[in-house]
Amino acid sequence: MKLKLGQIGIVQDEKLTGWLSEQDGLGTIWLAGQIKSTTMAFSCNEDEKVPTSSFRVIKANTKVTPQVINGRIRMRVNVKTSGTLMEYRCAEDLSTPASITKVEQAIAEQLKRIMMKSWEALQKQRADIVGFGTLIHEKYPRYWKSIASSWNDRLDNVELDLRVKVKINRVGMSSKSFESILNESKQ
């Protein structure tokens, strides 16, 4: 039997206060540093509306560092992940290091979009379920004491500084994309 979840409930003070989409839930797990492994879809370029390629995350590490500068809160989120390119339907030839780097950057940009969209959803719900408040409390206890009572109302003002590094360890059986092989055979 397979079970597929569609939405994730947000619970605060023992009450259900809202819902997150499946995609927003995934971004939330990344922001909270709780991702273990997953498969994520990504686009070959920004014009592509529907992602056609996929990357299997084997290893992931998220480190969040709070910064308070002139009363403004910024959360620096450093994500390092590595894995296997599972499905690749882009025209780019994967036989060169430059092309692998380009694909890694495309995956990183997709992951940034997912996390930013999730954070915007959490801000809208006024829910810090990723634990940013705890990190601020640990690093800036005096500042936290002055904002703790209104923390969820202040989420709109918290900025994210997302830094994502993706490493492709394996590209599968073929070094060229299927599309590029088809184009070569037509010539």
Contact status, residue 114 vs residue 89, Cβ threshold 8 Å: no
The region that residue 71 occupies, defined by phi over 0 for left and psi between -120 and 50 for alpha, beta otherwise, is left
3-state secondary structure of 102: helix
pTM of the model: 0.85
Q: What is the pLDDT of residue 150?
A: 94
Q: What is the pLDDT of residue 2?
A: 52
The identity of residue 51, as a single letter, is: P
The residue ranges of DSSP E strands in the chain, in sequence order, are 7-12, 15-21, 38-42, 53-69, 72-87, 159-170
Distance CA 70, CA 102 (A): 37
Distance CA 141, CA 128 (A): 17
Residues, the chain: 187
- The residues with which 164 forms a beta bridge, in sequence order, are 79
Burial of 13 (0-12, 13-18, 19+ CB in 10 A): exposed
45: how many CB neighbours lie within 10 A of its CB?
10
Instruction: With residue 115 as reference, give the H or E element that holds it.
Output: helix 97-125
69-88 in b/e form (b: 16+ CB < 10 A) is eeeebebebebebbbebeeb
Catalogue all structural domains in the chain, each as residue range(s) with its CATH number: 7-186 (3.30.300.210)
- The residues with which 84 forms a beta bridge, in sequence order, are 56, 170
Each residue's pLDDT, cut to its tens digit, for the chain (187 residues) gives: 554 567 888 887 788 888 888 889 999 999 999 998 899 988 877 777 788 889 999 999 999 999 999 989 999 999 999 999 988 887 777 888 888 999 999 899 999 999 999 999 999 999 999 999 999 999 999 999 999 999 999 999 999 999 999 999 988 655 455 555 556 656 6
The region that residue 12 occupies, defined by phi over 0 for left and psi between -120 and 50 for alpha, beta otherwise, is beta
Q: What is the pLDDT of residue 186?
A: 61
Contact status, residue 59 vs residue 82, Cβ threshold 8 Å: yes
